[in-house]
Structure formats: structure tokens, C-alpha cells
């Protein structure tokens, strides 16, 4: 033990856990920031809003598998909490530090203060206060341990003092770090072999099985084992949005994303299956189209690291508790490839369902229409995202377009997406680039999504965070069009458009003005070269694509 300040201890511990960037709006833990400069190489990315800081930390975590760190002083704490909600929904290990109440001043109307701690409760796995400096080492270790363990998720630590000034105090401390908890997953729990063999038997006996791979497959790094098992037993694979990069879209056993923001072929396959095998999926509303695909009662088996997830929405013929990678490896060891033959007709049927989908949407995917079709944007992503690229996608229409129409071409590509918050993708894409600086990061967002945190272009330029942002710019949030048509009795009034349209703005010009590279694309043939140029530019780039305001993404179940 050595006498040191909380700031020194925290800076040393973050460095020890391998943290390369922290994201915040000052002023919080100021002494710690000064110590970071003296003692570490950690980059202190100050942003234009706490929510964006949380989204950057989230993108960093999802791209790197290591906890992302974000911070806010007391008045910004709830902005930060709002930004943790997507990480919570997507099971992303984000650690949030805030300044908080001091026993000397609470309950007497001290400037800027409310009790923030309860607001973090619904969006964290662990929500705690650090009131005395001696607690820095154990509480920081617990924060990392909880964030990455089991099903990962956000953690909040509130440090005493509106700016966390407890970090200036001294105590005898050891800045001990447990490297095991520096990334996901810290443990790979072995499944009980009896349950593995029971599930495998059911899978091998099925004639029309489908695997639904969720975010747990990506968290576990299990995609290789997943694809190997699917190939050995001839089983088609659908994914959730969160698990989209578990299998390349071009793989012959891939049927696409199932659920609500999905590809129709995946829902048809899942709907016709005689057995559904969920792997690392919480079987939530989005992945199952609100439990309609598949219907509750379908024969199901499930593999998960969380015992409470097993059978939550679908009664199971067999449940396996364990790490996805290890469990799939055990199944692979015992799988009988001879059983694959009986699934040949089913695999052929799923191939023809996928081909029908391709034939149906080819005209839009290849459309030369001006203004451009978003489907064509997705096809250009499929063609031009490099093999080591990370694609970061917003929600709403962006989630529908890319979830359904974009295909990963290589197992080395990654796909991360907003779990529901419009505006998440742009800051998350900046965080992803910080977490994986050697990989190209390409963001897909609508204009409504981009507006949320447009100020962060300046952050990207200031820090040289060279993500490529592609904006589907239809001067509207036109996903809302259907909904307003509905409530207006079929066809909305002209005036109703004021509820979902915006001014047409040239985001390429805005980007240029802030110091990024801006490329405006109006013709479909120009988009591929623009994406290529943007990736080569090694600068923050905004590719502003003018698209058709009347283009609506197909709904999940035809």
C-alpha cells in the first residue's frame, strides 16, 4: 500500500484495465484528469453532451469488448443516465462515473443538485456511491467485474462531491487491477454435458430446425463455432439485430435477421421451422416480432449464460446454461454429421425462400432511381464495406433498412446497432473508432438520427476520430409516415407532414465548415466511389446521400 490520492489511484487503475479513451463533459473528477495526463496515455475526449459521451463509451465497448468509460458532473448526471439506456438494452459494458451529493451540503438546496442515484437504477447492473477515498480500489474493481460478467451491462459509480472532489483526498491504497475483468467474457462457464447432449439430440432429430443467434454469440466471440455447427449439421441460421454479425449474410445457411426490423425470408424460415434453437438471445419482442415469429409453443431449445433467460418466453424442450462458445464447441465435438442428410430438403427450401427474397427486392437493391432508394444504399454498403470494417447502424428506419437489406460479406466484419435510440449511431461510431482504431468504421444513420448529436462532428475533427458517417437524408423522419397515415384514417393531411418533415440541409457542407470531409451524393452510381474515397481519406467524413422521402422499408411479416 502507498499513500496516494484517489485521482492517482483511479488514473492508475483505468490504465491498468487497458482503458485508452474516456468520454465526458467537464467538470468531473478534475484531479483524476490531471493525473491521467501525468501518469497515463488515456485520451480524455470531451464531447458536446453527456448523452453523446455515453453513446461513445457504448460504441467503444461494443467494438472492443472492453468497458467504455463515460463521466458527468452532478448537473449532467441524468443526461448521462439517459445515454446508458441503449447500453442497458444491448447488454454493453459501459461504466459511468458521476459527481454526487456531499453529506455536508445535501438537503439544503445546494446549487445544481438532485438525488441522481435512483435514475441510474433501471439502466444499470450495479449502481453505487463512493463516499470515502479508501473505497476507490474495491469499488472500481467491482464496477469492472460487474460490467463484463455474465450478461454484460452498464454500471454507475457516483463519487462524493458535485464534481467528484473526493478524488483529491489521500489514503493508503493499492491500485490493484484484475485483468480478467478488463474485457468480455471474463469467464467461460462450462455447460453440464448431460444438458448439452440432450439439446444436441433434439437438434439432430429435427427435420426443419433453425438457429436464432443473438447478441450473446457476439459477446462470447462464438461465431466460428456457430457457423461450424450449422455447417456440420446443415441447420439454417437466423440472427437477431444484435447478433447480425454472427454469420455473414452471404453464407448459404444464413437466412437473415428475424423479428421486427428484419428480412422477410428469415421470418418465413423461423415461422416454418419444427424446432427453434435460441443461442445468446433474450427472446425479446424485437427478435420475435413480439412473440409471433416463432409462436409461443413452438418446440424450442436454448443456450444462454444467464439461467433466468432460459425459457423466459418459450417453454423449452432443453435448456443449456453456459458460455456460447464453449457450449457450441462441446456440441460440435459430439455432433453427428450423418444426421445432416435428412435436413437437405429443408435447407433447399430455405435457400429458395432466400432466393425469392433476393428476386423480390433486386429492383430496389439495384435501383438507379433519383432521388435514391435506401435499398440501393444498403447494397452499396454490402459491396464497399472493407473486410475488416465495423458497421454502426441507427434505429428506426435505419435499423429496418440495414437489418433487412445489408449483408456482411466476411466473418471479420462487425455490425453494431442502436437498441432503440434514435441518434445513437453517430456518437457510437466515433466511440467504436476509438475502441478499434485500426479498423474502418462506417455509420448508417437517417437525417433525424444525425441531427441529435451533430455537434460531435467538431469532436471527431478535434480528436481526429476518422469514422465515416453516411446519412440517409430524406429531410424527414419518414418512418413515421405509416403511423400518421394510420391515425389520420388511412391518408394523412398535407399539414400532418409538419409532424415528421424537416428542412433539406446539405450535411456535407456543414461537415466541411466544421473541418471534416463532406461528400454530397445525389446519384446512385456515385455512392460506391464516395464510400471508397471516404474510407481512404483517413479523416472524419460525412457522406450526405439524398434519398426518396416516399421510400418505406418493408414490414416484417408480409
Interacting residue ranges for ligand TPP, rule: CB under 6 A: 395-398, 420-422, 446-449, 472, 474, 476-480
CB of 173 to ligand TPP, least distance (A): 40
User: Which residue's CB is nearer to ligand TPP, number 466 or number 476?
Assistant: 476
Backbone angles phi, psi at 411, to 5 degrees: -65, -20
Q: How far is CA 326 from CA 190, 318, 323, 445, in A?
A: 6, 17, 6, 35
Rounded Cα–Cα distance for residues 389 and 248 (Å): 13
> Is it true that the peptide bond before 371 is cis, omega within 30 degrees of 0?
yes
In the three-class reduction of DSSP (H, G, I as helix; E, B as strand; rest coil), residue 178 is classed as: coil
Is-contact 22 14, C-beta < 8 A? yes
User: Secondary structure of 471-520 in the HEC alphabet?
Assistant: EEECCECCCHHHHHHHHCCCCCCCHHHHHCECCCCCHHHHHHHHCCEEEE
User: Which residue's CB is nearer to ligand TPP, number 375 or number 407?
Assistant: 375
User: Which residue's CB is nearer to ligand TPP, number 395 or number 459?
Assistant: 395
User: Which residue's CB is nearer to ligand TPP, number 49 or number 477?
Assistant: 477
User: Which residue's CB is nearer to ligand TPP, number 173 or number 402?
Assistant: 402
CB of 435 to ligand TPP, least distance (A): 23
CB of 422 to ligand TPP, least distance (A): 3
CB of 2 to ligand TPP, least distance (A): 46
CB of 420 to ligand TPP, least distance (A): 6
Is-contact 404 265, C-beta < 8 A? no
User: Which residue's CB is nearer to ligand TPP, number 28 or number 448?
Assistant: 448
Strands 43-46 and 68-72, sheet pairing: unpaired
Select from 219, 189, 205, 149 the least CA-distant residue to 330.
189
CB of 264 to ligand TPP, least distance (A): 19
Is-contact 117 106, C-beta < 8 A? no
The grid coordinates of residue 362 equal 433486386
User: Which residue's CB is nearer to ligand TPP, number 2 or number 487?
Assistant: 487
User: Which residue's CB is nearer to ligand TPP, number 73 or number 287?
Assistant: 287
Rounded Cα–Cα distance for residues 333 and 69 (Å): 39
C-alpha torsion 43→48→54→58, nearest 10: -60
In the three-class reduction of DSSP (H, G, I as helix; E, B as strand; rest coil), residue 442 is classed as: strand
CB of 397 to ligand TPP, least distance (A): 3
CB of 82 to ligand TPP, least distance (A): 9
CB atoms within 10 A of CB 342: 14
CB of 415 to ligand TPP, least distance (A): 18
The grid coordinates of residue 165 equal 472532489
CB of 473 to ligand TPP, least distance (A): 8
CB of 324 to ligand TPP, least distance (A): 28
CB of 475 to ligand TPP, least distance (A): 8
In the three-class reduction of DSSP (H, G, I as helix; E, B as strand; rest coil), residue 210 is classed as: strand
User: Which residue's CB is nearer to ligand TPP, number 22 or number 52?
Assistant: 52
User: Which residue's CB is nearer to ligand TPP, number 137 or number 477?
Assistant: 477
User: Which residue's CB is nearer to ligand TPP, number 224 or number 506?
Assistant: 506
Backbone angles phi, psi at 13, to 5 degrees: -70, -45
User: Which residue's CB is nearer to ligand TPP, number 76 or number 185?
Assistant: 76
Strand order in the sheet with 209-213: 254-257, 237-239, 209-213, 275-279, 300-304, 318-321
The grid coordinates of residue 228 equal 461450424
Query: What is the DSSP secondary structure assignment for residue 551, as one 8-state letter?
Result: -
> Is it true that the peptide bond before 381 is cis, omega within 30 degrees of 0?
no
Amino acid at each position: 500500500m502507498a499513500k496516494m490520492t484517489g485521482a492517482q489511484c483511479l488514473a492508475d487503475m483505468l490504465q491498468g484495465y487497458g482503458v485508452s479513451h474516456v468520454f465526458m463533459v467537464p467538470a468531473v473528477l478534475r484531479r483524476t484528469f490531471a493525473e491521467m495526463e501525468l501518469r497515463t496515455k488515456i485520451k480524455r475526449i470531451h464531447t458536446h453532451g453527456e448523452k453523446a459521451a455515453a453513446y461513445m463509451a457504448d460504441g467503444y465497448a461494443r467494438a472492443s469488448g472492453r468497458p467504455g468509460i463515460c463521466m458527468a458532473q452532478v448537473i449532467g448526471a441524468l443526461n448521462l443516465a439517459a445515454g446508458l439506456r441503449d447500453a442497458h438494452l444491448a447488454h454493453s459494458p459501459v461504466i459511468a462515473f458521476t459527481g454526487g451529493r456531499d453529506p455536508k451540503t445535501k438537503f439544503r438546496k445546494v446549487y445544481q443538485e438532485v438525488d441522481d442515484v435512483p435514475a441510474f437504477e433501471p439502466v444499470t447492473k450495479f449502481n453505487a456511491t463512493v463516499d470515502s477515498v479508501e473505497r476507490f480500489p474495491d469499488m472500481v474493481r467491482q464496477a469492472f467485474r460487474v460490467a463484463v460478467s455474465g450478461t454484460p451491462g452498464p454500471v454507475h459509480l457516483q463519487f462524493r462531491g458535485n464534481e467528484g472532489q473526493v478524488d483529491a483526498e489521500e489514503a493508503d491504497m493499492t491500485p490493484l487491477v484484475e485483468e480478467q475483468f478488463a474485457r468480455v467474457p471474463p469467464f467461460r462457464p462450462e455447460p453440464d454435458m448431460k444438458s448439452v447432449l440432450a439439446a444436441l439430440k433434439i437438434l439432430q432429430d429435427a427435420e426443419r430446425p433453425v438457429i436464432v443467434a443473438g447478441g450473446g454469440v457476439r459477446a462470447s466471440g462464438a461465431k466460428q463455432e456457430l457457423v461450424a455447427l450449422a455447417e456440420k449439421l446443415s441447420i439454417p441460421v437466423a440472427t437477431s439485430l444484435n447478433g447480425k454479425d454472427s454469420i455473414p449474410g452471404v453464407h448459404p445457411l444464413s437466412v437473415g435477421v428475424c423479428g421486427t426490423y428484419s428480412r422477410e425470408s428469415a421470418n418465413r424460415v423461423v415461422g416454418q421451422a419444427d424446432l427453434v434453437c435460441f443461442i445468446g438471445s433474450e427472446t425479446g419482442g424485437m427478435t420475435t416480432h413480439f412473440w409471433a415469429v416463432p409462436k409461443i409453443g413452438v418446440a424450442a431449445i436454448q443456450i444462454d449464460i444467464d439461467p433466468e433467460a432460459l425459457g423466459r418466453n418459450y417453454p423449452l424442450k432443453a435448456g443449456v446454461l453456459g458460455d456460447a462458445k464453449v457450449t457450441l464447441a462441446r456440441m460440435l465435438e459430439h455432433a453427428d454429421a450423418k444426421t445432416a442428410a435428412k435436413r437437405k430438403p429443408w435447407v433447399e427450401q430455405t435457400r429458395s425462400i432466400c432466393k425469392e427474397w433476393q428476386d423480390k427486392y433486386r429492383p430496389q437493391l439495384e435501383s438507379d432511381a433519383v432521388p435514391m432508394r435506401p435499398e440501393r444504399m444498403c447494397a452499396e454498403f454490402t459491396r464497399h464495406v472493407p473486410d475488416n470494417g465495423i458497421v454502426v447502424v441507427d434505429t428506426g428506419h435505419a435499423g429496418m433498412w440495414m437489418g433487412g437489406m445489408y449483408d456482411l460479406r466476411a466473418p471479420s466484419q462487425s455490425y453494431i446497432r442502436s437498441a432503440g435510440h434514435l441518434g445513437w449511431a453517430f456518437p457510437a461510431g466515433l466511440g467504436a473508432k476509438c475502441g478499434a482504431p485500426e479498423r474502418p468504421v462506417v455509420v448508417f444513420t437517417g437525417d433525424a438520427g444525425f441531427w441529435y448529436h451533430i455537434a460531435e462532428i467538431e469532436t471527431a475533427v478535434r480528436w481526429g476520430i476518422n469514422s465515416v458517417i453516411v446519412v440517409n437524408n430524406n429531410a424527414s423522419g419518414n418512418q413515421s409516415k405509416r403511423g400518421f397515415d394510420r391515425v389520420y384514417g388511412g391518408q394523412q393531411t398535407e399539414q400532418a407532414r409538419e409532424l415528421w418533415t424537416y428542412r433539406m440541409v446539405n450535411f456535407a457542407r456543414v461537415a466541411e465548415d466544421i473541418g471534416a470531409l463532406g461528400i454530397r451524393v445525389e446519384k446512385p452510381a456515385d455512392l460506391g466511389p464516395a464510400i471508397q474515397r471516404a474510407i481512404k481519406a483517413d479523416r472524419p467524413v460525412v457522406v450526405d446521400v439524398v434519398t426518396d422521402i416516399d421510400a418505406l422499408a418493408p414490414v416484417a411479416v408480409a
